[in-house]
Amino acid sequence: MSAVEGVLLGLYFTTGAIVGSFANVCIHRLPRGLSVVRPGSSCPSCGAPIAFFDNVPVVSWLLLRGRCRRCGASIPVRYVLVELLVAFLFLGAGFLYGPTFVAASAAFLAAASVILAATDLEARTLPDEVTLGTLVLGLVLAALRDRAAAVSDQGLVRFFAGSHLFEAVAGALAGALFLEGVRRVYKRLRGQEGMGEGDVKMLAMAGAFTGPAGVFLTLFFASLAGTVVAGGATLLRALHWSLEARRARASSSAALAVAARAGLLVADDGRVLSASARFREIPGAAADGMRLTADVPTAGRLLAFVRLAGTRVRRGEPAAHGRLALDDGADFFRVLAARAEATPAGLLVLLARVDVPFGVFLACGALVAFVAGRSAWDAIAGGLPWVPRLLP
């Protein structure tokens, strides 16, 4: 590697870290309907403005040891992880494609995918500012690629056969029309929404970068990612829960500690003895020392599981497992896997979130389709007379 190439890769990484810092702003503010421009960055705990020297991506978080300089509150590790992830994605784009419009397309698609995966996972929303804004950016970059190749100087037939802009527009339309059709058919057959409009816009966004063939490759890779993630998560959760249950059965103090980080501990009279943040975020969740109640639908579903698990324990039956769909009818929705175990201090209920939304897998599918779609499509349809050119 030459010195010039090393400098360029360093610039890609640095630019990615800066974009990752902005991505954190988008992830936090867009689901809340806040501006991503004003006010400036501030501590999520005390609200104090963050000085420019404390806002250097990755470096500031490490130097401050993940805490606010003003109040000392912990700053979630998610912030530095997002900055690093986007930085490495930009670095990968530069390494694979060099200083080209293709690298720019890969980098911006990657940044948008990270933002959308995070907002969908945390708030179950795919902001239009990101999906539609990035779609337009994809069309602009495709047009610039045409300009660089002087495609517009060719005849009309050759233009449609070789234009990146044509492929980008066709890809956006294919993504929107296909998934919107699936969404409407599902709603007609089942009488309920199977996916939101945000997923439709997100696939249209992916199509603007990968073309019509890339739309279906995105869906294929998204489904594959869902299968891998779901299977892997199930296996890891089972192993983790087995270890936590073994620790909790050792003593009352151990059971309290396990509940504080992985679920909740319920006494024989129904009082909550200890609970984790996963339980605390449920609307209507009982405080320590209070009894579980069914005052709100979300807490009521969990109470029903606890009562059933308690009955199984008294009968000497094996641990109870369940999947709880908790919905308060407003802004809160979670699907939690639950496992109940008898401990010396009471009934331990281990909780884990399992409702990974489709946008997370679409993000993975779009990136894989962009990077590996060309090879995959050539292997599938290499003999066809017309092969989309937008796939790198």
Evaluate if residue 1 carries a pLDDT over 80: no
d(CA 212, CA 390): 9
Q: What values do phi and psi take at 319, rounded to 5?
A: -60, 145
Q: What values do phi and psi take at 299, rounded to 5?
A: -65, -30
Evaluate if residue 389 carries a pLDDT over 90: no
Q: How many CA atoms lie within 13 A of 69 on its CB side?
A: 14
pLDDT in tens, 151-194: 555 554 455 556 889 999 999 999 999 999 988 888 888 776 76
Evaluate if residue 44 carries a pLDDT over 60: yes
Q: The tokens 């620790």 sit on which residue?
A: 247
Element (H, E) at 8: helix 3-29
Q: Which of 102-116, 151-165, 182-196, 332-346 has the lowest mean pLDDT?
A: 151-165
Evaluate if residue 144 carries a pLDDT over 60: yes
Query: Helix, strand, or coil here: 386?
Result: coil
Long-range contacts of 328-337 (CB under 8 A, 24+ apart): 328/283, 328/284, 328/296, 328/297, 328/298, 329/297, 332/281, 332/282, 332/283, 332/298, 333/124, 334/281, 334/282, 336/278, 337/237
- N- to C-terminal Cα separation, the chain: 23
pLDDT value of position 384: 67
* Cα 114–Cα 115–Cα 119 angle in degrees, nearest 5: 120
Q: What values do phi and psi take at 334, rounded to 5?
A: -145, 145
Evaluate if residue 208 carries a pLDDT over 80: yes
d(CA 303, CA 295): 10
- Which percentage of the chain shows pLDDT scores above 70? 91
Query: Helix, strand, or coil here: 335?
Result: strand
pLDDT in tens, 230-284: 888 889 999 999 999 999 999 999 999 999 999 999 998 889 999 998 888 888 7
Q: What values do phi and psi take at 282, rounded to 5?
A: -75, 125
Q: What domains can you pick out in the chain, each with its CATH number?
A: 1-99 (no CATH), 233-353 (3.30.450.20)
Q: What is the DSSP string of 16-80?
A: HHHHHHHHHHHHHHGGGT--SSSS--B-TTT-PBPPGGG-STTHHHHHTTTB-TTT-PBPPTHHH
Q: Which of 76-90, 265-279, 325-339 has the lowest mean pLDDT?
A: 325-339
HEC secondary structure over 209-225: HHHHHHHHHHHHHHHHH
